Amino acid sequence: MPTIHRALVTGGAGFIGSHVADALIAAGFAVDVVDDLSRGRRDQVPAGAAFHQLDIRSPEAAALVRDGGYDVVCHLAAQIDVRVSVADPVADASRNILGTLNLLEGARAAARPPRVVFSSTGGAIYGDLAVPPSREEEAKDPESPYGIAKLSVEYYLAYYARQHGLETVALRYSNVYGPRQDPHGEAGVVAIFCGRLLDARALTVFGDGTQTRDYVYVGDVAAANVCAARAALPAAGRVDARAFNVGTGVGTSVLALAATLQQVAGTALPVEHLPPRTGEQARSFIANDKGARVLGWRPAYSLADGLATTYAWFRSQHRG
Same domain, 162 and 271: no
Same domain, 107 and 230: yes
In a domain, 203, yes or no: yes
Q: For position 249, what pLDDT does the model report?
A: 96
Q: Which pLDDT tens digits describe the chain residue by residue (320 residues)? A: 446 699 999 999 999 999 999 999 999 999 999 999 999 999 999 999 999 999 999 999 999 999 999 999 999 999 988 889 999 999 999 999 999 999 999 999 999 999 999 999 998 888 776 788 999 999 898 889 999 999 999 999 999 999 999 999 999 999 999 999 987 655 689 999 999 999 999 999 999 999 999 999 999 999 999 999 999 999 999 999 999 999 999 999 999 999 999 999 999 999 999 998 776 778 889 999 999 999 999 999 999 999 999 999 999 998 76
**Residue pair 61/34 in contact by the 8 Å Cβ criterion:** yes
Q: Which amino acid is at 98?
A: L
Domain carrying residue 282 = 176-214+249-286+300-317
Integer Cα distance of 94 and 228 in angstroms: 26
Same domain, 230 and 255: no
Please give the full DSSP string across 138-191, using - where no structure is assigned.
Answer: S----SSHHHHHHHHHHHHHHHHHHHH---EEEEEE-EEE-TT--SSSS--HHH
Verify whether residue 160 is a known catalytic residue.
no
pTM to 2 decimal places = 0.96
The residue annotated as part of the active site, out of 70, 126, 146, 215, is: 146
Q: Residue 306 sits in a domain of what CATH number?
A: 3.90.25.10
